[in-house]
Structure 1
Amino acid sequence: MFKKFLTTIILSMLVVSSVFAQPPTPPSENGYAPMPPTHRHGRQHHRHIHGIRGLEWINLTEEQINEINKIDYDYENKIREAEYRKRGIDYEFEFEREKADIDLKTIKDLINQRKDIEKEIDYLRIEKEVSIFNVLTAEQKEQINRIRYYR
């Protein structure tokens, strides 16, 4: 019994000492540990623009950036609200399926409502992209198409 207890203590001391024996993380300029480069953090963009992929690589005016961010914000709120409604229908659907006496008409109606909301979300995403493209000049649209084609 004493031998097992002593062995357990020695092993736990080895584990703890190996953890504390690691070298400390190097200091950084901002006081936080440096983040390793990954596919998400490897490339830093010079501007924060939402909307369409590739917008950060073309020359946009400040007015265009503000208008694009406003369009993106408005449409993302509409999309989020539609997704919230879709989630509510999903909950209703699961509730109906849990019942002992399933009403097929209600199930079919919920499925159709969900499909309608999915169509609405798809249409809002396309409408958002078209609205953002309407802010761009012809040259900028050509640049976006080239960037999309080669990436």
Structure 2
Amino acid sequence: MKNIITILFLTISTTFFGQDYNTKKGYVAEGYDVVAYFSNKTEKGNKDFTTEFDGVKFKFSTKENLGIFKNSPKKYIPAYGGYCAYAVGAKAEKVSIDPKTFEIRDGKLYLFYNSWGTNTLALWKEEGAEKLKLKADKNWIAINKER
């Protein structure tokens, strides 16, 4: 009975409170334009073009990108709430990112840590992105249940 109540609580919590997001600097992707990534660009967002979705703020470099996001926000939300995809997959940890280090894989945005001589995008590719992605998907569910 206790397990059923716990599962029910976690399901309700995730449904009503959404997933966990990396909002360093107050915005998802540290204020970089999540739509621009899909054009293979890293562009800082402009405070004049902001919106909220799922309780968190997003910035965009242009009014057009803001409109694109508003029409289909779930398409542009980074995987794993904008935390480092490699760290979620390899270590089941939430780690900050370098917003200039990213990959679009199967139509989804993945962000990575890149500092102090460690580029986790390179590690992601070297160690097998598909295998790490599958592990990260499972780990992310567990991480969100812990919140």
Shared fold by TM > 0.5? no
Tell me which interval the TM-score lies in, with the shorter structure as reference length.
under 0.3
If asked which structure has higher relative contact order (CA below 8 Å, sep 6+), I would say 1
Structure with the higher fraction of residues in strand conformation = 2
State the structure with more CA Rg.
Answer: 1
TM-score, normalised via structure 2 length: 0.22
